[in-house]
Chain A
Amino acid sequence: MITDEPAIWTQALRKSYPGRGAALDGIDLAVPAGTVHGLLGPNGAGKTTTVRILATLASFDSGQAWVAGRNVARDRAGVRARIGIAGQYAAVDGILSGRQNLEMFARLHRMRAREARARADELLERFDLVEAAGRPVKGYSGGMRRRLDLAVSLIRSPRVLFLDEPTTGLDPRSRLEVWDAVRELADSGTTVLLTTQYLEEADRLCSRITMVVRGRVVAEGSPAELKSSVGGRDLDEAFLLITEGA
């Protein structure tokens, strides 16, 4: 589903929180449809802020932002109908069961009750949560919770999916499961913007990477380009060099 129009496009995106300096100091992004794009940066770089703005959860001060062909500032409803978001902190209901969560959010996606149940079944199966489906989410392991969060974000097969540090705090096995899911999504044509602090993760999953430090883009390119631009070192070294130079 690769078209000319980028699925995510921002220009000079700026935002500051009251009483603080700029959280985003001019972010430019252009993510072609159907690709996995990495937003890489250390803690506090502005990754979550960028994702929240693009997902209509936060406003911005200046610049432009388009997602799935919709203007983020002007057509929030249009953006919301076309995106999915899975957060750094799994935003699912801890008291409800996994199945109840999926059915509720499916209903809020305007699915009919029967359709919602069928979709919940499908996603529980896909994310290996069938056995835990009836239990309260509070009792889930970190990996199960993250899988449920991912499942919820995929209820309506979004065109653009935002994954904010989807593997932070996960054990290696759960991390691999999330990676598999991201690859499967990419194959099916979903555009994914993935934030991460892990270079290895970005290197494995992303076709292009934007490095952000203190709210500014410090480098942009394919993993290979980033490596060659700093003289063939591996990405970790490149990251250190670029970050220190910023």
Chain B
Amino acid sequence: MTVSISGAMTDAVTPHGSRITWAAVDTWVVAKRHLLHLVRRPDELLGTLMIPVMAVAMFGFVFGEAFGVAMDVPGAEYREFLLPGLFALTMAFGIGNTTISIAEDVRGGVLDRMRSLPMSPVAMLAGRALADMILAVVELTILLALGTLFGWQAHLGIGAVIAALGLLVLLRMAFSWVGILLGLLVSGPEAAMKYFALVFPLAMVADTIVPTDLMPGWLALPAEWNPLSSTVIATRELFGNTAAPATTWVGEHALTMAVLWPVAIIAVCLPLAMARLRRLGR
């Protein structure tokens, strides 16, 4: 065998092109890796989709009539109300896979290997966020189709639907950065799995499944200020779906808040995650 292992010893100096261009290329390469994981382990995607599908079945049909009665609307109308809630809820649940995969990369040494390469540091993490956003589009497409099957409809045209999907993907990006930060902080993937149940209050104490005006006052306040609620209310508006009339400041400014919340979350979590990444080298 004469193939040389070591070719000409040219230093891996970054070819011309700006740092931002290279950060984008690296991010895409890392994102592709996470997407390949999903292709090789489709059960993960199925697992994520199982939750909203079960939720449509359970809340839409089992408890739906009762919720409808409590809200004074027919069951079909409750399902209209419910589906945007489930879209956002699915975005939130994605945080579990994000956290676990980053914790696995820390544990398994893949992140160390990346840190030994002349690649863009932010891309090591942003690749996961990008993959999550692409995955979110896939999940939402499936859920939209399923929702239509259950009789759910968007009433305000394609432009509004795209705007709503944009808000949902933005929400997912925010949760993605929360997950990335948590993945760098937890002691390992097992810990990430153990804490996953904490997503439930986050996803439920919100205007997702039960309207906040049916909640006791001490629960209604955090539910109204939950970032999920802003996205849900804004997307209900954009889909032209049933919604309880807004009675609070956050409720009235749902559209603005549906942009501000995720942007603020990313603005906090991204730099913290980068600081944590640097600290891994201590």
Contacts and interface: CB of A to CB of B under 8 A. Distances in A.
Given A82-B11, A189-B9, A109 B118 contact: yes
Interface in A30-59: 55-59
Contacts of A58: 281-282
A122 B12 contact: no
A126 interface: yes
Main secondary structure of the interface of A (DSSP, over half): loop
B11 A125 contact: no
Main secondary structure of the interface of B (DSSP, over half): loop
Contacts of A157: 5-10
Nearest to B22: A110
Contact of B11 (A59, A92, A105, A159): A159
A128 B109 CA distance: 24
Contacts of B41: 95
A185 B7 CA distance: 10
B123 to A, nearest CB: 8
Nearest to B111: A91
Given A96-B33, A108-B26, A159-B11, A56 B116 contact: yes
Interface in A77-114: 77, 80-83, 85, 87, 89-96, 100, 104-105, 107-110
- Classify chain B: how many residues form its interface, as a range: 35 or more
Contacts of A81: 11-14, 118
Interface of A: 1, 55-59, 77, 80-83, 85, 87, 89-96, 100, 104-105, 107-110, 122-123, 125-126, 136, 152, 154, 156-159, 181, 184-185, 188-190
12 contacts: A59-B282, A80-B118, A82-B12, A83-B116, A89-B108, A91-B108, A96-B33, A104-B32, A105-B113, A109-B119, A154-B6, A159-B9
B104 to A, nearest CB: 9
A181 B6 CA distance: 10
A126 B5 contact: yes
Contacts of B112: 57, 87, 91
Contact of B36 (A96, A110, A190): A96
Interface of B: 1, 3-15, 22, 25-26, 29-30, 32-33, 36-37, 40-41, 108-110, 112-119, 281-282
B256 to A, nearest CB: 39
Contact of A93 (B4, B5, B25, B33): B33
A134 B22 CA distance: 28
B6 A105 contact: no
Contact of B117 (A105, A125, A136, A154): A105
Contacts of B114: 108
